[in-house]
Chain A
Amino acid sequence: MPVHSALTTHPLFREPRELMERVHCPSCRVGFAPSEVLFVAEDARLVGDPVAGPTQQLRFLPTRFDVGGAALDPEGARCTRVACPRCRIEFPRAMIELPSTFISVVGAPGCGKSHLLAAMTWGLRRERARAGAFMVDTEPKLNARLHRDENILFGAPDSTELVRLAKTEIAGDALLYRTVRVKGKDETLPLPLIFTLHVGSGGEPSEGADGSSQRLSALQTIELPTNTLDIVEPAKRGASLVVLYDNAGEHFLPGADESAQPVTRHLSQSRAIVFVFDPTQDARFCAAVGMADNGGANIRQDLVLTETFARVRHHRSRHAADTLDVPLVLVLSKADAWSVGAHIDLNVEPYLPQGGLDFAALKKMDGALRPLLQRACPEFMSAVRAATSRVLIVPCSALGPRTSSVVGAGVRASDIHPQWASVALLTVLPLEVDAIANASLWT
């Protein structure tokens, strides 16, 4: 196509494409302008990059583009994949075009983070009418690790097969971590899970912030103000990204934040933190809900929480006396095992008939669990209170009620029916964090 005709007909030249002013790499957290983004060479001869590694395609700052706006690599191949200028790890091109929300999933080893993540994302892929929002992979290739877990739990070809997720490795899993050589030094960085968020049930007019406002009015709380968040309007159009991190619990233990393996630095940018508290790892909680002995595994989860928020404070350069207002969703996992003793009903999930979260039900559940935690684990609640001023407590069973008595080899695939799995994520999605704040839920 001649260039002069492209100038009048090609959409690229008719509408300027809006880019984010500044982008943060989802792996190494460095901020940069879209103009600094490197492209990934496509020509098969351009293998080897000094930072990304000798097996990776070359990363380069393009100087030549085709008429469609795609970069041309030194051999003339059309390139569309982009990478961070510092760590050179590939990320979705959508990140330079759409606003992103970072959410960290934190917890002690064995608390159920990976099960929760697989169940919550699977739920939000499928139940858009009920949840009032749904997510799709921004670039499926980059979420390969999550697909592996989802397939194990929800995609078993034989429904009678016993399934279970493997323990998350602290290193060596190529789907979880990538080692790059920055300034001559090896750095192992986490690979995030990136989704495009669609608010509203899709197809029909988006409920989004307006729906939240109605629900809040029903609760007779203050009205939701005109939303000024940069992320809400794009989210309503299905044009916002959610970046999730699933670390091994060992990475949150005191002393595990190393410069050679800075895998928890995402805490510095997280819009909200989902802390998975495993009541079955606390003997006093088990006793309080009448559960059998947990076999002596009594993990100090309060130290994990304190360490997490110490890192948040440290990486955000906050003064020790400053109060952090990072929303903290405290997910009490494995609820199928203790819900009866705690007198809570997991069968009633906090969704409105027309879709979206039922804040009244959430507040009621928070009110039921808070005294129980305060009574059984006072030091943990003290750590929570010291960490942040915005806390919401929700239960969760990532596998469902029929799996609680199964141990050892795994659970039967047909028995997996998660309860309250997507709730925690929905409460911290861009639209809801501030909406719920106004509903006085975050206390």
Chain B
Amino acid sequence: MNAQFIHTSLVRGLDGGSGYTVAGRTGGMPMAMSDVLCRLSGLPPAWSDASIEEKILCAFRTVEYAGQRVSVLSHIAPSGMDYTGRANRISHHRVMDEHAMHVSDPAALLEDESLWMREWVGAARELSGGELPARLAREDAPLHTWERVFGDAGWAASVLEVVMKSGIGVWLVVPARSKKLRLCAEMMALVPQEQRWQITFATRPIAPGSDASVKICFVDEREPELAAHNEKSEWIIQVGSGMLSRAPAGALAQRARVGIGEAMHAAAGHKPQARDLNAHVGGDVWTAPTKLSAPREREVGVVDRASDVVGAGKQNALPTPHAVIEVRRMVDTSANSGVWKWFAATAVVIAVLLWLAVRSGATL
């Protein structure tokens, strides 16, 4: 069952304390889980002239309580003044169940503002778990926000590749006033739905290395916490420098630029019709589908290097010419890898040993 948890400043919380306390909680939630969610409820201080929207922390994390891991979506936002007259914040967490994870993806759920509380009214009380509607990011749309922010939507594929390779997680520095959650949701669209629950993320800085840390933080370039770290650290990445200095290439980057349909057209050698292209580019207003299409059988058999890195795209078989090129490239790679030299050397050694054995046997 889904569970909800609200943490904000009240005169009296559900557990009796005042100040930042539990305002609402799904009935029957174990105290161990409640304690863990309390610890996830902090909102890091923002830069001085940050807007309310820029201060919001949206995060998808997996945390451990009582020996089991659970997936938690968090929406932590400023929330007016508390009873002492000081700035308040409200942390709304949702612990996801298997069914909700099957029909939705985390970024799309966080983008649906109707699901997240921005203000707590009344006394502390128990809540229902609440059924969540299905929310999925479109897989076939070009990534307009990435294009607008970074000049090339293909960077989403490059960043995704870095995230998947990183052991500790990364902070992606994004320009001021970027829509970080939208960037995240678009990047998630490059990943198959069932894998979107494996990429944890946040839209404000969370220090890597703890149970509550995430694979990627979208960090505004004005964040004070960014200044406290060496920007040349490997885990702080910026488009156009370091690991992201080379222009994005590959099928996934192409898919990010033009959407899945156009990418298939391009790979097949067809020039897209101007009308079709306009239909994609013109589709600036994105709306998440509210209904999940029936699960499809995955088509396996064609290897796509770019999608292999992120484990994505296997369900979208590439057209034959592209596949042929890929197979040739694989053959070239294995031919150049030097493995055959080892085989040859091993064979020579075995032959010599056999010859020696035969010779010694003959003398005996």
B328 in the interface, Cβ–Cβ < 8 Å?
no
Q: Is the CB of A173 within 8 A of B84?
A: no
Instruction: Give the contacting residue for A170; candidates B11, B42, B44, B234; CB below 8 A.
Output: B42
> Which of the candidate stretches B153-161, B202-210, B257-265, B356-364 sits at the interface with the other chain?
B202-210
CB distance from B232 to the nearest CB of A (A): 7
Q: Report the Cα distance A123→B54, complex, angstroms.
A: 35
Residues of A within 8 A of B82 (CB): 110, 167
Q: Is the CB of A179 within 8 A of B17?
A: no
A117 in the interface, Cβ–Cβ < 8 Å?
no
Q: Is the CB of A179 within 8 A of B210?
A: yes
Instruction: Give the contacting residue for A297; candidates B35, B83, B233, B234; CB below 8 A.
Output: B83
Q: Is the CB of A166 within 8 A of B45?
A: yes
Q: Which label, helix, strand, loop or mixed, suits the secondary structure of the A interface?
A: loop
Q: Is the CB of B85 within 8 A of A170?
A: no
Q: Is the CB of B45 within 8 A of A173?
A: yes
Known: A54-B209, A55-B208. Is A250-B19 also a contact (CB below 8 A)? yes
Residues of A within 8 A of B35 (CB): 258, 260
CB distance from A310 to the nearest CB of B (A): 16
Q: Is the CB of A55 within 8 A of B168?
A: yes
Known: A53-B207, A55-B233. Is A170-B86 also a contact (CB below 8 A)? no
Q: Is the CB of A186 within 8 A of B21?
A: no
Q: Is the CB of B44 within 8 A of A166?
A: no
Residues of A within 8 A of B221 (CB): none
Complex A-B: 22 CB contacts under 8 Å: A44-B230, A53-B210, A55-B168, A110-B82, A110-B86, A164-B86, A167-B9, A170-B41, A172-B43, A172-B44, A172-B206, A173-B44, A175-B45, A179-B210, A186-B211, A188-B39, A254-B16, A254-B17, A258-B35, A260-B39, A295-B83, A297-B83
Q: Is the CB of A297 within 8 A of B11?
A: yes
B40 in the interface, Cβ–Cβ < 8 Å?
yes
Q: Is the CB of B39 within 8 A of A261?
A: yes
CB distance from A182 to the nearest CB of B (A): 11
Q: Report the Cα distance A83→B38, complex, angstroms.
A: 29
Q: Which label, helix, strand, loop or mixed, suits the secondary structure of the B interface?
A: loop
Q: Is the CB of B210 within 8 A of A109?
A: no
B228 in the interface, Cβ–Cβ < 8 Å?
yes
A384 in the interface, Cβ–Cβ < 8 Å?
no
Residues of B within 8 A of A53 (CB): 207-210
B218 in the interface, Cβ–Cβ < 8 Å?
no
Q: Report the Cα distance A166→B85, complex, angstroms.
A: 10
* A-contacting residues, B205-246, CB 8 Å: 205-212, 225, 228-230, 232-235
B20 in the interface, Cβ–Cβ < 8 Å?
yes
- B275-304 contact mask (Cβ, 8 Å, vs A): 1 or 0: 000000000000000000000000000000
